[in-house]
Amino acid sequence: MAGPAEAQKLVYLVTGGCGFLGEHVVRMLLQQEPQLCELRVFDLHLSPWLEELKTGTQNVIEACVQSGTRYLVYTSSMEALGPNAKGHPFYRGNEDTPYEVVHKHPYPCSKALAEKLVLEANGRKVCGGLPLVTCALRPTGIYGEGHQIMRDFYHQGLRLGGRLFRAIPASVEHGRVYVGNVAWMHVLAARELRQQAALLGGQVYFCYDQSPYLSYEDFNMEFLGPCGVRLVGTHPLLPYWVLLILAVFNALLQWLLRPLLLYAPLLNPYTLAMANTTFTVSTNKAQRHFGYKPLFSWEESRTRTIHWVQAMESASVAHPSRS
């Protein structure tokens, strides 16, 4: 997300503005940015592979330089840091907590490289001679209205008679953040980047709220449970090695089918390792630097997400062939 320097006439460009987070950022700007003069939305469905994402980020930086756009807020991810490929836990860490970054999967590799490009571009001269000011936001696992993975889990539960089977130990914790609060942090960061360039420029911020630390499955049940889906088992019903075999099989099948069709299984070696590794953040850096506080409480975030799932439930009843 980028915006020019004039404080009284702000023009925002939201790249990926038609995606899950992008749509929420667009709505948040329309609702919460009183100095907004013009809002431009750009979206292009690119392949998620490493070089294309890296090139896309470099193109955004070059566009800022050539057009004289001085402020760039990059949507990174906690996955730019971890969980790493070695499965090291990250427990209530912050931006300064030491952690070995070891990635093999294209998505975290691309996020880490793109984030590096954005932060290194801070201070680069743009058209007109003034410096580019950049920062990066690292959301933890995002949830909320429009979340495709939660939609997939819900429909899977319906197909299994209202049941999902536990695959991850309940002791594994993850930090999750409501999409509305992620969008709100973007608006605040873009606003304060203009006012406090020396403080925010070149910085990275974890993006989270007061959502509880739970395993992915237990967290999802906070929303799916009230909608008639129950989680079966207090312990994983299948041992890890069986899940790993299935994950590797899915990855192989995805590779074989890639020339013919897009096959994106929920379970693959990367998602299995990530789900089985504790990764939680606890930091107030964003609050200290630009006054971030969640706009939506956990109770409101939960209620909004439940209502969205219930709307899917109503649509499934009205159109059973779509489930």
Which residues are the active-site residues?
Answer: 107
Question: What is the distance between the alpha carbons of residues 204 and 223, in angstroms, rounded to a whole number?
Answer: 30
* Side-by-side strand order, sheet with 203-207: 36-42, 10-15, 2-3, 71-75, 133-139, 203-207
Q: What tokens appear for 138 in the block?
A: 């690292």
Which neighbouring-strand residues pair with 133?
71
Closest CA to 80 of 61, 103, 62, 57: 103
